[in-house]
Chain A
Amino acid sequence: MNVDDKLIDRLSNLSKLEFGTEEKERIKSDLVKMLDFVAALQEVDTDGVEPLIYVNPEVNVYRADEVTESLDQKEALKNAPDHDSFYFKVPKVVSGGE
């Protein structure tokens, strides 16, 4: 597996993370180590084995679809980094245009 700048840039873009030049080298070498480590999995014979997705055998456990009080507006806004009385506030989303 070739871990180059291009791959790191792609993954950091998908992860919404940024790495400085030095950090990038570090993450690159860590990723190489981690991928080497997990590469061993290829040695396990899994022919005809279905992936295990749900650990608990019970499936489709639903609760009744009832309307209940959950969070009121004040509570919902309580932990927001920026808000007014009614809304979450975010930096400008749309730019340009006349």
Chain B
Amino acid sequence: MTTYRSLQEIRKDLTAGSITLTQLVESYLSNIDASSDLNIFLEVFGEEALERAKEIEAKWQAGTAGRLAGAVIAIKDNICYAGHRVGASSKILEGFESLFTSTALQRLIDEDAIVIGRVNCDEFAMGGSNENSAYGNVKNPLDPEFVPGGSSGGSAAAVAADCCLISLGSDTGGSIRQPASFCGIVGAKPTYGRISRHGLIAFASSFDQIGPFAHSAEDAGLAMEIMSGQDHMDTTSSSVDVTPLSEAKLPKKLKIGFVKECLDSEAINSEVRDRHSALIEQLKSEGHEVEAVSLKELDYLVPTYYVLTTAEASSNLSRYDGIHYGHRSPEATDIESTYRKSRTEGFGPEVKRRIMLGTFVLNAGYYDAYYAKAQKVRRVIKEKTDAFFEKYDLLLSPTTPHTAFKFGAKSDDPIQMYLEDIFTVHANLSGNPAVSVPLFKHSNGLPFGTQIMAPVFKEAEMMQVAHNLMNTVALKG
């Protein structure tokens, strides 16, 4: 099969009759099979996907197929799909089967997307390298000695290894954008509240958002547009109208701010810095206004993020008690030991670490100094970000300070791993949309992305800029 890079190409070939949906699904299934050593898929819905292909083929012939007919998708193992297993890559949910379908996924299915399987991730979406899954590491398809990033590592790898056209991940602090950068694809997080969280297994509810991975900005944008919009099952979903991609309004000359502290950061690789400096010059030469903005709170972003997300996680994960669903320890003899032993056996080390920190910051006596303090810092950051966007159309930074690292390189010290999120957590703290755009290839052979952050609810414009950038700078050199 041709390696498809966009839905448009697939739909052109379907129209021309040079491929059928069944052949398309079969070829993805054979790619999944050929890449099984990368440990991307936890479960493949092969037969079901082939049946769906037949159904949609009939609709295609009748001219009634949806906007995503031709799109074969994979879903992160924290997105519910009725009648299918879902487990957040945790032992505590082993064997659990969804009773309903998440709103975001249902909207894609309603437009005739075909779901080909569920993919590996860090346990409960906690991690930056996909080394925290109870089902083993996912390897980076570009070089299996390197991590694919996390927590949506399987979702990024599935697209990068051509096991599907589009995949869904979730982004709490960079869990879509960082693996997109490491795997050389597009990964986008919408505005907080843009896409319903109904049916997304909760990690930190005031941060979590579902978002897409794809090779093209157009496909990611389309999937995001279709998933967007109010849902009465999620009270935090926004009632703001969804702007279709085709109606994105961009000024000819953009006002772009780049975060000075990101490029000045000690953590950043010199080549990542240089290529971004060159990008800034290029944008200026194209007539855009590009200015340095200062975010002197940069070093406080990750600590704020960890206080708030661990607090929310410790509360969200208290539901795993071994009573109604999930793992129950065979050692449980009474109610207390049911809780303790089931949770102790079911959760992995990183999840336990975060529950402990979250419990600490919410504890009477420490609450004001840590949790309430972090909530105040979050407001400072949000107000500052809102002020940026009164002046600028976009904020630009690298997605990650460096390219993908090797397995084990950061597993000894949780803080080193947490600092992976240094450029990405900003958008989750302030609620803004952000996308990682695969523009560059490092001399070490691995890709890295540029992050574009946009004003709230400006996803269409953001994806249009991503698309334009990919056409003008993609992978030069």
Contact = CB atoms under 8 A, between A and B. Distances in A.
B373 A12 contact: no
A61 B235 contact: yes
B323 to A, nearest CB: 6
A97 interface: no
B96 interface: yes
Interface in A18-63: 18-19, 27, 30-31, 33-35, 37-44, 46, 49-56, 58, 61-63
B232 interface: yes
Contacts of A10: 363
B395 interface: no
Interface in B297-352: 297, 299-300, 302-304, 306-307, 314, 318, 321-328, 332-335, 337-341, 343-344, 347, 352
A38 B236 contact: no
B380 interface: yes
A26 B236 CA distance: 37
B357 A34 contact: yes
Contacts of A15: 314, 343, 352, 355-356, 359
A8 B363 CA distance: 12
B415 A90 contact: no
Contacts of B318: 16
A61 B237 CA distance: 9
B374 A40 contact: no
B60 interface: no
A74 B49 CA distance: 27
B438 to A, nearest CB: 28
Contacts of B343: 15-17
A38 B379 contact: no
Contact of B323 (A49, A61, A78, A88): A88
Contacts of A75: 99
B344 A91 contact: no
Given A12-B356, A81-B325, A92-B334, A56 B192 contact: yes
A16 B155 CA distance: 32
B352 A17 contact: yes
A49 B375 CA distance: 9
B324 A80 contact: yes
A2 interface: no
B97 interface: yes
A73 interface: no
B413 interface: yes
B256 to A, nearest CB: 24
A93 B376 contact: no
B363 A49 contact: no
Contacts of B378: 51-52
A50 B237 CA distance: 23
A41 B304 contact: yes
10 shortest A-B CB distances, which residue pairs? Answer: A51-B375, A81-B328, A52-B379, A79-B325, A46-B376, A56-B193, A55-B431, A63-B232, A16-B339, A38-B303
28 contacts: A11-B359, A17-B347, A17-B356, A18-B341, A19-B352, A30-B353, A31-B360, A34-B357, A40-B300, A41-B373, A42-B373, A43-B300, A44-B373, A50-B376, A51-B378, A52-B378, A55-B192, A55-B382, A55-B431, A56-B192, A58-B238, A61-B237, A61-B239, A78-B99, A80-B324, A88-B323, A90-B338, A92-B334
Interface of B: 95-97, 99, 192-193, 206, 232, 235-239, 297, 299-300, 302-304, 306-307, 314, 318, 321-328, 332-335, 337-341, 343-344, 347, 352-353, 355-357, 359-361, 363, 369-370, 372-380, 382, 413-415, 418, 430-431
Given A38-B307, A49-B376, A81-B326, 10 more contacts: A8-B356, A19-B344, A34-B415, A46-B380, A49-B379, A50-B379, A55-B430, A58-B239, A92-B334, A93-B335
